Amino acid sequence: MGRINNVDIDKMRQFGEQIKADPSKARKTQVIEGEWLVQEGGAQFRSTINFEGGKTVFEMDSPTFMGGGGKLPGPMHYCFYGLAACYTATFATMASMLGIELKRLTTRVEADVNFSRVFGVSDAPVMEEVRVTLSVVSSAPEEKIREAEGLAIQRCPVVFTLKNPVKLTPYLKISRAP
């Protein structure tokens, strides 16, 4: 079948067959490590992200109202980017597996963020809703596109994480400065 919409369908099917034969192959551990930068004038947080084909550096600077310089994307930008990228990729993959050719696919993620909890002013939820809009240009029938959307909502890892409680296990390691 090859590639549809920049998705390698053959590799997807091969991996699907591998995990059907051995479900343990479906489990992959994701690790992100980073460092808070105490020197003023640049990024506040930096992480070297290792991925299958290499590595790249992500840097973060909080908005000024959160004590940063506002010179780089903040944590919420990366959070929403992750949602947008994962949901869009899942939709494109599901559409490709269904044989839907996409002419264009764009995504918009938005949320109203209430920072009063961060400042200890209230116990109000930080977010009550995250809105995700996919804009699809395709000649495929609407019902097929909606089928791809349904599958994307069911199968996207980030959507799952937002919709279902996931156990968070925090650890704190303390070392004394000399």
Query: And the tokens for 76?
Result: 């919420």
| Domain annotation for the chain: domains and CATH numbers | 74-163 (3.30.300.20)
Task: Give the chain's radius of gyration (CA, Å).
Answer: 20
Task: Assess contact for 46 and 57: CB atoms under 8 A.
Answer: yes
Written as one letter, the residue type at 7 is V
Pairwise CA distance, residues 105 & 84, whole Å: 11
Residue-wise pLDDT for 115-171, tens only, equals: 999 999 999 999 999 999 999 999 999 999 999 999 999 999 999 999 999 999 999
Average pLDDT over residues 43-52: 96
In this model, does residue 1 exceed pLDDT 80? no
pTM of the model: 0.92
Average pLDDT over residues 39-62: 96
Other residues' Cβ atoms within 10 Å of the Cβ of residue 24? 6
Pairwise CA distance, residues 72 & 158, whole Å: 23
Whether the CA torsion 129, 130, 131, 136 is positive or negative: it is negative
Residue-wise pLDDT for 87-105, tens only, equals: 999 999 999 999 999 999 9
According to DSSP, the β-strands at 54-60 and 45-51 are antiparallel
